[in-house]
C-alpha cells in the first residue's frame, strides 16, 4: 500500500486531486489531513498554496491502541418472507439530518433490545438489503453478526456485511453512498418493525478499515496538538466518524475534542488541555 504523502495545490480540493492522482487511489481510500487551507492574499500579495496530507487506508492490521475488529460475520440466507418496498421510494432516500450543536461526545439514546428483537431486526434488514441489491442488479452475499455491547450505549448491535466483487458503487466517495444506504435501510426497517432500527451496514470491511485509519489519525493529530500547544481541526466527517475520534481521545490526558460547524462541514476540533 502507498505511503502517506504531503501535497500542495491552489485550493484544498485541488491539492487532494493531485495527491489522489499520485497515489492512484480514490477519495474513499484515504484520510485527508488539511495542514494549511491556503490563502488568495490581497491583490495577489501574501497568497499561499493549500497543503494537505493524504493517509492511505490499509487493510485491517492489529493496532496497539485501535479497538479490536468484530468477529467475522457468518453467512446467512435471506429470510424467505417477501419484502416489497416501493422502488420509487428506494431510489430517492431522504438526506440524513445534521445537528448544528457543539458537543463533547455524540451519543444517541438507545432503548434496550432483547435477543428476539435483535433477531427480528436482523432478518428484516437482510430481506430489505436483498431487495435493494436485486433492484440494483448487484450480485453480492449478505452476512450477519452481533457486536459486543457498545461502550457508550451498552447495547449489542446487528452488523450486516455485504461482500462481493466490484462493490465500490455501494461505498461511494468517502463512504457517502454507504451512509445513505444504511439510512434508507434503517428507515424502511423502522417503518416495518414499528420501532427504531439501529443495525450497521458494512461493505467489504470498509468501515473497519476506515475506523482503524481514523484511530491512527486521531493519535497523530493529538501528538501534533501537544507539540504545538494549539487546536487542530480535522476534515469534515459524518457523525459516526466524528464519534470514532471522540472515543479514541476521550480519556487522553493532554487533549480533548469538540464537534464544530454545521451540516456537511461539521468536523472534530482537538484542543490541548491547559
Q: Is 86 left (phi over 0), alpha (psi -120 to 50) or beta?
A: beta
Q: 42 Cβ partners below 8 Å, 6+ apart?
A: none
pLDDT above 90 for 162: yes
Q: Identify which has the larger pLDDT, 61 or 241.
A: 241
- Under 8 Å between Cβ of 6 and 53: yes
Closest by Cα among 59, 67, 91 to 188: 91
- What's the pTM? 0.55
Across the chain, mean pLDDT equals: 79
CA distance readout (Å), 220 to 65, 162, 214, 250: 12, 31, 10, 15
> Worst-scoring range by mean pLDDT, 40-44, 51-55, 76-80?
76-80
- Under 8 Å between Cβ of 258 and 268: yes
pLDDT above 70 for 131: yes
pLDDT at 155: 84
Q: Are strands 200-203 and 158-163 parallel, antiparallel or unpaired?
A: parallel
- In angstroms, rounded to a whole number, what is the distance separating the alpha carbons of residues 183 and 106? 18
pLDDT 10s digits, 233-261: 998 888 888 889 999 999 999 999 988 88
Averaged pLDDT for residues 113-126: 92
pLDDT band (50, 70, 90) for residue 215: very high
Q: What is the CATH number of domain 74-95+108-207?
A: 3.30.300.20
DSSP for 196-259, please give it.
----EEEETTHHHHHHHHHHHHHHHHHHHHHHHTS-EEPPP--HHHHHHHHHHHTT-SSEEEEE
Domain ranges of the chain: 1-56, 74-95+108-207
Averaged pLDDT for residues 173-184: 88
pLDDT band (50, 70, 90) for residue 77: low
What values do phi and psi take at 32, rounded to 5? -105, 125
- In angstroms, rounded to a whole number, what is the distance separating the alpha carbons of residues 90 and 13? 31
Assign 137 to helix, strand or coil: coil
Q: Identify which has the larger pLDDT, 219 or 90.
A: 219
pLDDT at 135: 93
pLDDT 10s digits, 92-113: 445 444 433 334 444 444 457 7
Q: How far is residue 234 CA from its own chain's centroid?
A: 14
Q: Identify which has the larger pLDDT, 223 or 57.
A: 223
pLDDT 10s digits, 190-214: 999 999 998 999 999 998 888 899 9
pLDDT at 222: 94
- In angstroms, rounded to a whole number, what is the distance separating the alpha carbons of residues 130 and 120? 15
Can you read off the three cell numbers belonging to residue 85?
418496498
Strand ranges across the sheet with 232-233? 232-233, 267-272, 255-260
Amino acid at each position: 500500500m502507498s505511503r502517506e504523502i504531503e501535497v500542495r495545490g491552489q485550493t484544498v480540493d485541488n491539492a487532494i486531486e493531485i495527491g489522489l492522482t499520485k497515489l492512484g487511489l480514490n477519495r474513499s481510500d484515504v484520510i485527508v489531513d488539511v495542514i494549511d487551507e491556503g490563502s488568495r492574499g490581497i491583490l495577489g500579495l501574501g497568497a499561499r498554496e493549500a497543503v494537505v496530507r493524504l493517509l492511505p487506508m490499509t487493510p485491517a492490521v492489529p493496532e496497539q491502541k485501535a479497538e479490536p475488529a468484530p468477529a467475522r460475520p457468518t453467512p446467512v440466507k435471506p429470510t424467505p418472507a417477501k419484502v416489497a418496498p416501493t422502488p420509487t421510494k428506494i431510489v430517492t432516500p431522504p438526506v440524513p439530518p445534521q445537528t448544528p450543536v457543539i458537543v463533547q461526545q455524540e451519543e444517541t439514546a438507545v432503548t434496550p433490545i432483547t435477543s428476539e428483537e435483535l433477531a427480528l431486526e436482523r432478518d428484516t434488514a437482510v430481506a430489505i438489503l436483498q431487495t435493494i441489491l436485486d433492484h440494483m442488479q448487484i450480485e453480492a452475499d449478505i452476512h450477519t453478526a452481533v457486536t459486543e455491547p457498545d461502550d457508550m450505549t451498552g447495547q449489542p448491535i446487528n452488523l450486516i456485511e455485504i461482500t462481493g466483487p466490484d462493490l465500490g458503487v455501494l461505498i461511494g466517495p468517502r463512504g457517502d453512498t454507504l451512509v445513505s444506504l444504511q439510512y434508507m435501510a434503517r428507515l424502511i426497517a423502522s417503518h416495518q418493525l414499528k420501532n427504531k432500527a439501529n443495525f450497521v451496514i458494512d461493505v467489504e470491511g470498509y468501515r473497519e478499515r476506515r475506523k482503524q485509519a481514523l484511530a491512527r489519525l486521531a493519535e497523530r493529530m493529538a501528538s501534533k496538538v501537544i507539540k504545538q500547544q494549539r487546536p487542530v481541526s480535522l476534515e469534515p466527517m459524518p457523525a459516526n466518524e466524528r464519534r470514532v475520534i471522540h472515543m479514541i481521545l476521550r480519556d487522553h490526558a493532554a487533549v480533548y475534542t469538540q464537534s464544530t460547524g454545521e451540516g456537511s462541514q461539521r468536523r472534530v476540533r482537538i484542543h490541548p488541555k491547559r
